[in-house]
């Protein structure tokens, strides 16, 4: 039986956390696939155990040439351009859609479990976050590339003889995202802001929400890894599933959690939001024009399908996750 696991996007945020989670259960026969044109991502793999590394172009070429036929146990496909501000639609569709389609078809031909990263961006500005076509209307080319691949998966699923699992990630945050630049989580940016300037920043109110009051489903990356491994262990399950905490929390709550976690490192007492604002530890800045019409002001994963599939573990709240994350950032950055 083949036991090599392929992780694409392995040097990226979620990919590297998956490699670490696989290592923690004794899996080291891992082929890491990525694009290290931005070389700093290598740092995410320094403490990981892998069997081989392949560039994403080299890997897909070898797949198409049949070099991996019969030798792969599963593919965890996390590789994608996740920049929601990317304007090169041709690149986005080739990278996120076409590459994924080639891997999907190969996996089905080989009978190899295929788990892949979808996104809550498929829902756009809707208020219902349920894995069904009527609720899907992406606002940008990134969301469309993910949506279109989900549609391809839906066409393949009825005749698939091996598992296909798409996981619609909501706002993931946590260790190993520092290479993402502007696309890193709010918690990561606020940690940097607090360390540098002693205060954090949030957008002013939009979409009828007060300053910092926009709501997102923030999910800790360790929980994301756990769900991936659950589906790896349950090949009888297939389909597209939301992967969030199931709990909408405000950006203000993120700021409070981050500020208090940073204060705790110095032995300071936690503060309430109004005190954080009053002491100038939180600054509200104008909403950028570039995000107008492309911004989700509210998300909350409907976890009905995920729970029905048998995943019953709790998800970390913003307060729990950010406390752990800030401790990690303080140790490593």
Which residues are part of the catalytic machinery?
142, 180
Are residues 218 and 254 in contact, defined by beta-carbon separation less than 8 angstroms?
A: yes
Beta strands in the chain (DSSP E): 4-8, 30-34, 52-55, 72-77, 114-119, 164-169, 171-173, 200-203, 215-220, 239-243, 248-250, 282-285
Are residues 114 and 77 in contact, defined by beta-carbon separation less than 8 angstroms?
A: yes
CA 82, 222, 114: angle at the middle one, nearest 5? 60
46, 47, 50, 54 alpha-carbon torsion, rounded to 10°: -20
Residue with tokens 């926009």: 214
Q: Token pair of 234, please?
A: 């349950």
Cα separation of 245 and 150, whole Å?
A: 21
The set of residues, in sequence order, having a beta carbon less than 8 Å from that of 259 and lying 6+ positions away, is 190, 194, 200, 271, 276, 281, 282
């Amino acid at each position: 039986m083949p036991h090599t696991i392929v992780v694409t996007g392995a040097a990226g945020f979620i990919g590297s956390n998956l490699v670490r989670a696989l290592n923690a259960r004794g899996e080291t026969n891992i082929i890491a696939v990525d694009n290290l044109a931005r070389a700093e991502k290598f740092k995410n793999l320094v403490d990981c155990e892998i069997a081989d590394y392949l560039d994403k172009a080299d890997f897909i070429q070898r797949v198409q040439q049949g070099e991996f036929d019969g030798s792969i146990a599963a593919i965890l496909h996390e590789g994608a351009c996740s920049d929601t501000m990317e304007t090169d639609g041709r690149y986005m569709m080739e990278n996120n859609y076409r590459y994924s389609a080639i891997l999907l078809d190969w996996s089905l031909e080989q009978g190899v479990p295929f788990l892949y990263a979808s996104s809550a961006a498929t829902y756009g500005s809707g208020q219902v976050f349920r894995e069904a076509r009527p609720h899907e209307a992406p606002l940008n080319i990134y969301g469309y590339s993910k949506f279109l691949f989900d549609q391809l998966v839906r066409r393949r699923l009825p005749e698939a003889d091996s598992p296909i699992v798409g996981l619609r990630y909501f706002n993931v945050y946590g260790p190993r995202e520092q290479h993402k630049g502007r696309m890193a989580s709010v918690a990561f940016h606020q940690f940097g802001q607090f360390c540098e300037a002693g205060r954090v920043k949030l957008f002013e109110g939009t979409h009828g929400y007060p300053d910092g009051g926009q709501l997102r489903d923030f999910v800790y990356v360790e929980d994301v890894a756990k769900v991936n491994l659950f589906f790896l262990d349950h090949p009888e399950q297939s389909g597209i599933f939301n992967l969030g905490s199931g709990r909408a929390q405000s950006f203000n709550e993120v700021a409070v959690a981050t500020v208090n976690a940073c204060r705790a490192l110095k032995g300071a007492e936690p503060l309430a939001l109004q005190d954080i604002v009053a002491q100038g530890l939180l600054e509200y800045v104008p909403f950028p024009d570039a995000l107008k019409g492309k911004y989700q002001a509210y998300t909350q994963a409907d976890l009905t399908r995920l729970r029905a599939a048998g995943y019953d573990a709790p998800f970390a709240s913003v307060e729990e996750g950010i406390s752990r994350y800030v401790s990690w950032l303080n140790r490593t950055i």
